[in-house]
Amino acid sequence: MGTGGFSSKRLARVRELLELQVESGFVPGAVAVLARHGQVHVEATGTLAFEGAGSGTPMAADTICRTASMTKPLVAACAMTLVDDGTLRLDDPVDDLLPELSDMTVLADPRGPLDETVAAQRPITLRDLLTYTCGIGMMPIGPGKVPIFDALNALDYSSPDAWMRGLGELPLVHQPGERWMYDTASNVTGVLIARATGVSFGDAIRDRLCDPLGMKDTAFSVSGDDIARVATAYHRDNAATGEPVVDDGPDGRWSRPPVFESGGGGLVSTAQDYFAFASALLAGGSHHGRRVLSRASVTLLTSDHLTPAQKAASGFWPGFFNEMGWGLGMSVLTRRSGVGPSVGSYGWSGFYGTAWYNDPAEDLTAVFFMQRGHSGDQRLPMWHDLWTATYHAIDN
């Protein structure tokens, strides 16, 4: 028997793999939402925490989790709603709303002193921000080795304006449009959205994206009775005991509104909320008959924008872009190397073990949520097994 284009029998393997993560003590709970041909299949196992109040609450599709870098696709989509309504243009300079980024300088040597610079050859545009080619971002190096790395880490996050002032005082690492650099552009985009709309970034993303999509649990903080649905996030095991260490609990950082709403990784959400977003993209921008994004914007979000030269010079490790490119705020697969997402699939993962891909060729959406630090890396064997099981379950 099949379930919406899946084999019910082979879907059991997905559940077995999730249960394995729980039984091994890697995470207390995990949930997957898989959909094909309009049929939605949910697998949830384990609990919200290893101990304490959450240890008695089953993991579910409405469990609230930290999405970390899976915030980034939502930020890009929110920005594209502003392009759709004519508030912003992709190729206009952003320095009218972000004057801190006007007349930027660029490091003469990306690893060199901050005061050895040249002039930027052109202004930064919204397209640069959404494709992560604005010239500044995370670098695949440790602290204390490169001055710009330490300067970025030392920025003042006490308010969006304070952060932007500090960023504008730094040189870019590369010329705008030259190379892909991760993360920072999403935070800049969040500030840009707030200034363009005249409301806080959190209000803008709620009004323009989350409310139209029915994503009631997606926000920058959790309050009231909803805190009982927040899963505990864990970090690496304790070196002495081998036990997972709590990184953030339900009453932790996300239990109060942040002073800086991070577009790079600040949202919490649920698997069912994120599935609503993913489904809208797969449907060309509509959700339950309501258009949230133009079809053209969805195409831009989910198409590879990087040139071969940008890919050759970018990434976190050699070969980072061998099998993928970058759309707007998300990856786009350009080569199929195993039993997993097809060429043209798009999505992203998050630090705490969340992952999502849409596969238009298979009419498939897959969302996985768990809460363990450093476990979103798609090179981990766990993810190889989960994607193999998901695609092996396809029945027609």
- Please check whether residues 49 and 105 belong to one and the same domain: no
Q: Is residue 62 part of a domain?
A: yes
Tokens of 304: 């590879």
Domain end (from 178, 197, 216): 197
Whether 133 and 215 map to the same domain: the answer is no
Residue 241's pLDDT band (cuts 50, 70, 90): confident
**Rounded distance, CA 101 to CA 166, Å?**
10
DSSP-derived pairing of the beta strands 105-107 and 244-248: unpaired
For residues 165 and 260, what is the distance between their CA atoms, to the nearest angstrom? 14
Q: For residue 143, is pLDDT > 80?
A: no
Q: What are 358's strand-pairing partners?
A: 346, 365
Do 209 and 283 belong together in one domain?
yes
Write down the residue that tokens 């249960």 correspond to: 19
Q: Measure CA 327 to chain center.
A: 12
Q: Does 128 reside within a domain?
A: yes
Q: Do 134 and 237 reside in the same domain of the chain?
A: no
71 in a domain, yes or no? yes
Query: Cβ contacts of residue 380 below 8 Å, gap of 6+?
Result: none
State both tokens at 344.
């043209």
308-348 pLDDT, tens digit each = 999 998 999 889 999 999 999 999 999 998 999 999 999 99
Q: Is the domain of 119 the same as that of 263?
A: no
281 and 364 in a single domain? The answer is: yes
Place of tokens 């801190």: 100
- Residue 168: alpha-carbon gap to chain centroid: 24
Q: Are residues 348 and 221 in the same domain?
A: yes
Q: Is residue 82 included in any domain, yes or no?
A: no
Report the candidate in 59, 75, 57, 65 with the shortest Cα–Cα distance to residue 354. 65
Angle between helices 381-392 and 8-23 (to 10 degrees): 160
- What distance in Å separates the CA atoms of residue 115 and residue 122, rounded to the nearest whole number? 20
pLDDT tens-digit readout, 68-104: 999 999 999 999 999 999 999 999 999 999 999 999 9
Question: For residue 282, what is the domain's CATH number?
Answer: 3.40.710.10
Domain containing 127 equals: 88-197
Q: Same domain for 129 and 15? A: no
Residue that terminates a domain, selected from 197, 217, 232: 197
Q: How far apart are CA 186 and CA 163, in angstroms?
A: 13
CATH number at residue 150: 1.20.58
Are both 64 and 95 inside the same structural domain? no
The model's pLDDT over 273-315, given as tens digits with 9 standing for 90+, comes to: 999 999 999 999 999 999 999 999 999 999 999 999 999 989 9
Q: Please identify, among 197, 224, 242, the residue that sits at the C-terminal boundary of a domain.
A: 197
CB atoms within 10 A of CB 129: 29
**Are 141 and 228 within one domain?**
no
342 CB neighbour count, 10 Å cutoff:
14
Residues 210 and 349 both lie in one domain: yes
Any domain includes 61: yes
Mean pLDDT for 119-128 is: 98
The total number of structural domains that make up the chain: 2
pLDDT confidence of residue 1: 45
Query: Are 118 and 48 members of one domain?
Result: no
In a domain, 293, yes or no: yes
Strand 364-369 versus strand 354-359 pairing type = antiparallel
Helices (H), the chain: 8-23, 71-84, 126-130, 147-153, 160-168, 184-197, 201-205, 211-213, 271-282, 295-301, 308-312, 381-392
How far apart, in Å, are the Cα atoms of 144 and each of 3, 21, 33, 107, 108?
Answer: 53, 36, 41, 17, 19
Model's pTM, two decimal places?
Answer: 0.96
For residue 154, give every residue at least 6 positions away whose Cβ sits within 8 Å of its Cβ, in sequence order, or none. Answer: none
Instruction: For residue 83, tell me if it sits in a domain.
Output: no
